Structure 1
Amino acid sequence: MNSAIQSDLIKVPQTETSGSRSPARFAYQRNWALAELIEYHLEGKDYVFAFEFHDDILILDSEDNPSSLQFVQVKTKTTGLKWTVHELTKSEKGKKGNPDKLSIIGKLYENRNNFSSHSSQLRFVTNAYFSFIAPAPLTTTDKLEKSDQDKITNAIQAQLGTAAVDLSTLQLEQSSLSVDDHEKHIRGILHNFFEQLFGSDHNIPVSPWYQSISDQIKVKNNYPSKQIKSFDDLIRNKCITKSEIEDFVQRVSQSHNGSDNWDLIKSKLQMEGLGLQELIKLQRSWKKYTSDRLDYDNDALKSLESDIANAVSSASLGVDPTLKDVIEIIRKDISKKLSKVTSIFDKHYIDTIILWQYCEQL
């Protein structure tokens, strides 16, 4: 049964879209979200990050039973420039009889009003400093000078017709992620993430994982919100969840351990009389599969892995079968399923997955 938040996220109309976004700004927004997601994960928090749904980024505190919302707007400025209260609160005159466009802060408070029956936090995140406060990672607007509080309150009341404005719910955040080298910064964060998960001596490459999850965020971001008809649709098409990251971390760990198994497999296959040409082809497939497993959203590969893993776990392989026999038995057991994917995966690649799954289950 859906919670009230799950239902309202689908029923409540979304605020006006922000329009086109430059590739540079979206790249910063994506990398900020990834850095924030990693921080949540390392702190053991539950989370769901939705992209371009009700706001730039929407963060829920649970996939199964969310009880709070965070609406996040991420904006960048050229290094050295600062945000003013006026920039944050100014609305744009509507054209051709259309209503005025809400200010940056106005959009955040509109979301708060739309979900007034739920706990919500509003966050404005930027690389730049603010002209009206001393440099700080985070400031809630109820801590501003009284004159600045009044400017914000008056602007929100004028734009939304709201009687009361709770300034304690709005955070102004100056991110440590630089606008000029945020990609280098996020790669460093990912490297530290892997170190904490797998130890400082890990040799897991950051780039494939970063590219994979970045591409997935792009896909989620660009999926049309109007096509979302249920909370399940939302999770599947617009979100990155903790359970997905946990699954992915497990795959990274298995790839890290599985790549070490090749030397053992190679030695055994040589003892079984496999020729050099076949060994080279298998080795190439093994290296490719090690990398492909880090593809965040390769559904065809995940499906094949699942079929092979199930076949290995249920097969009667004996006490110490040859690897050639393992391949032959598994291929026979799932021959119908394999016939449907031969146009996607070649023989040596499939054999590699069989051997990999067999080693994992020993």
Structure 2
Amino acid sequence: MMHEQLDLANVKPSETGGPRASNRLDFQKNWTLCHLVERHKEGADYVVVCDYHDDVVVLIGVPSAAKLHFYQVKTRDGSHWTMARLTSSKKKRKKKGKASAETAKLADDVVDTSTADEEEGGSILGKLYKHKLGFLDRLGSLNLVSNCCFKLSLSDGTSSESKPHFTFVELDVDEKKAAAERVQAEHNLTEQAEFPEATHFIVSDMTTTGHDKSAIGVIATYLEYRYGTSESFPVAAIHRSLFDEIRRRSNREGTWDDLDLLLKQKGVSRSDFEKLLSKVHPRRDAESQWLELSKELESAGISIRRRIRISNSWHRYRVDRIDESNEILQRRRDAVVAVIEKMIADGIEDVSTVLSEVSVKIPADQAFDPEYTCAMALYEFCNIEDPVVQKTHSQPPEEAP
């Protein structure tokens, strides 16, 4: 077997039940969203794959040659993680119809977000180690992320309880030996398991009750960094759109033989994220645009009452257009943009002609009243040629804790 040629599509995941569980913890998706923002800020090409082989897999660089970084994201209420908990296997569970909406337990109060109809599963560290067995030279790192601290002995004689991030090599001899022997037995290896140096233990600062606010805060901070302004953005709408995109990718079932198709179905790439961010404009810009347009509409003889209705729709559409999951609106937007692009190519750029042309070619219907359609046309007319502000910084891919 040519291990250097293996990719996510060549190797089929041992479990496909994860995407079928509608009760996957939102904590995991919000952590994935924040990690996506972090990757985007770094500047290198990436694809974040949701619920395939593991909770999250990150490919950095050209997908066909990229190193694979695997992440398990676990929540836990109660006492800290110990080596015994990290290396304990799940009990075999019988298939339960609607009971799949319940969370199962790994050990004590560990929340297991896998589906309820899985057969006997491996331990947390055992599942991570399986990626080393399956991918060898393609492996970038193994990562265990949790809201709860780890209580493991370190080689310097201290405990890891107060450390938000450490690696397997920092563990003391006894902890390493316990992990290696238990994983060896779990996988029936002839030799003791050897964990990669890039095996990371990460404590997230997200809480199980405040992960939405944490993710929204990360997005707001990034937008300020990206646009260099403290002006307000529709951050909640951006969060909802990204969260829904991750959920859709996570919930897609099946396996794929083609890597490109797999990444399209299960992954969020730099270009996917950039597409959404390119729609975002500071509120100040939108207000300035509307003030100018309002003068044009008044000059065109549009009554003040109708201008107010169009104004309300303008500001609503500014937020609505970000939501990629709203397929009806996105199809409508594509149609409006196509009409406007043709008009601009023909040298037609006055507001009244834009409105009349769009109204004729894309008439109002039950979903979109005339004022909302006008607002769509005006907003896209103002922003269709806006350059993307994102500045990327070329830097080599790096192993990702």
What range is the shorter-chain TM-score in? 0.7 to 0.9
Tell me how far 1:18 sits from its aligned partner.
Answer: 7.0
Q: What secondary structure does 2:197 align onto?
A: helix
Deviations 1:174-207 (A, max 9, x none): 1222334222222222221121122343111311
Matched, 1:355 2:378: yes
Larger RCO: Structure 1 or Structure 2 (Cα < 8 Å, ≥ 6 residues apart)? 2
- TM-score norm. by structure 1 comes to 0.85
Task: Identify the residue that residue 183 of structure 2 maps to in structure 1.
Answer: 156
Task: Identify the residue that residue 113 of structure 1 maps to in structure 2.
Answer: 133
Tell me how far 1:84 sits from its aligned partner.
Answer: 0.7
Task: Identify the residue that residue 142 of structure 1 maps to in structure 2.
Answer: 169
Q: Is the 8 A contact 1:216 1:296 kept in 2?
A: yes
Task: Identify the residue that residue 57 of structure 1 maps to in structure 2.
Answer: 56
Q: For residues 308 and 184 of structure 1, do their structure 2 counterparts lie closer, same or farther at Cα, with a shift above 3 Å needed?
A: closer
Looking at structure 1, the residues matched to 62 and 260 of structure 2 have their Cα atoms a distance apart, in angstroms, of 10
Task: Identify the residue that residue 193 of structure 1 maps to in structure 2.
Answer: 222
Looking at structure 2, the residues matched to 102 and 317 of structure 1 have their Cα atoms a distance apart, in angstroms, of 60
Of 158-167 and 124-133, more deviation after overlay is shown by 158-167
- TM-score norm. by structure 2 comes to 0.77
Of 30-39 and 249-258, more deviation after overlay is shown by 249-258
RMSD after superposition: 3.0
Q: For residues 62 and 167 of structure 1, do their structure 2 counterparts lie closer, same or farther at Cα, with a shift above 3 Å needed?
A: closer
Looking at structure 1, the residues matched to 291 and 299 of structure 2 have their Cα atoms a distance apart, in angstroms, of 12
Q: For residues 259 and 114 of structure 1, do their structure 2 counterparts lie closer, same or farther at Cα, with a shift above 3 Å needed?
A: farther
Q: Is the 8 A contact 2:47 2:63 kept in 1?
A: no
Task: Identify the residue that residue 207 of structure 1 maps to in structure 2.
Answer: 236
Q: Unaligned stretches of 5+ in structure 1?
A: none
Pick one of 75, 80, 83 that aligns with 2:81: 83
Tell me how far 1:344 sits from its aligned partner.
Answer: 3.9
Looking at structure 1, the residues matched to 348 and 196 of structure 2 have their Cα atoms a distance apart, in angstroms, of 68
Task: Identify the residue that residue 103 of structure 1 maps to in structure 2.
Answer: 123
Tell me how far 1:158 sits from its aligned partner.
Answer: 0.9
Looking at structure 2, the residues matched to 115 and 293 of structure 1 have their Cα atoms a distance apart, in angstroms, of 40
Q: Is the 8 A contact 2:234 2:319 kept in 1?
A: no
Map 1:39-58 onto structure 2 (within 5 A): 39-58=38-57
Identical counterparts, % of pairs: 26
Looking at structure 2, the residues matched to 361 and 182 of structure 1 have their Cα atoms a distance apart, in angstroms, of 34
Q: For residues 268 and 28 of structure 1, do their structure 2 counterparts lie closer, same or farther at Cα, with a shift above 3 Å needed?
A: same
Matched residue type, 1:39: E
Looking at structure 2, the residues matched to 354 and 22 of structure 1 have their Cα atoms a distance apart, in angstroms, of 37
Map 1:115-264 onto structure 2 (within 5 A): 115-132=135-152, 133-134=159-160, 135-162=162-189, 163=191, 164-226=193-255, 228-253=256-281, 257-264=285-292
Q: For residues 129 and 109 of structure 1, do their structure 2 counterparts lie closer, same or farther at Cα, with a shift above 3 Å needed?
A: same
Deviations 1:46-86 (A, max 9, x none): 221111110011111136544110111111112x5201101
Looking at structure 1, the residues matched to 384 and 12 of structure 2 have their Cα atoms a distance apart, in angstroms, of 49
Q: What secondary structure does 2:230 align onto?
A: coil
Task: Identify the residue that residue 112 of structure 2 maps to in structure 1.
Answer: none
Looking at structure 2, the residues matched to 38 and 123 of structure 1 have their Cα atoms a distance apart, in angstroms, of 18
Q: Is the 8 A contact 1:41 1:242 kept in 2?
A: yes
Matched, 1:15 2:14: yes
Deviations 1:13-49 (A, max 9, x none): 21235768795x7111111111111122222232211
Aligned length: 350
Tell me how far 1:307 sits from its aligned partner.
Answer: 3.7
Looking at structure 2, the residues matched to 255 and 296 of structure 1 have their Cα atoms a distance apart, in angstroms, of 20
Q: For residues 320 and 243 of structure 1, do their structure 2 counterparts lie closer, same or farther at Cα, with a shift above 3 Å needed?
A: closer
Q: For residues 356 and 92 of structure 1, do their structure 2 counterparts lie closer, same or farther at Cα, with a shift above 3 Å needed?
A: closer
Tell me how far 1:317 sits from its aligned partner.
Answer: 8.6
Q: Is the 8 A contact 1:317 1:326 kept in 2?
A: no
- Larger helix proportion of the pair: 1
Looking at structure 2, the residues matched to 320 and 120 of structure 1 have their Cα atoms a distance apart, in angstroms, of 53
Q: For residues 14 and 256 of structure 1, do their structure 2 counterparts lie closer, same or farther at Cα, with a shift above 3 Å needed?
A: farther
Looking at structure 1, the residues matched to 283 and 272 of structure 2 have their Cα atoms a distance apart, in angstroms, of 16
Looking at structure 1, the residues matched to 166 and 287 of structure 2 have their Cα atoms a distance apart, in angstroms, of 47
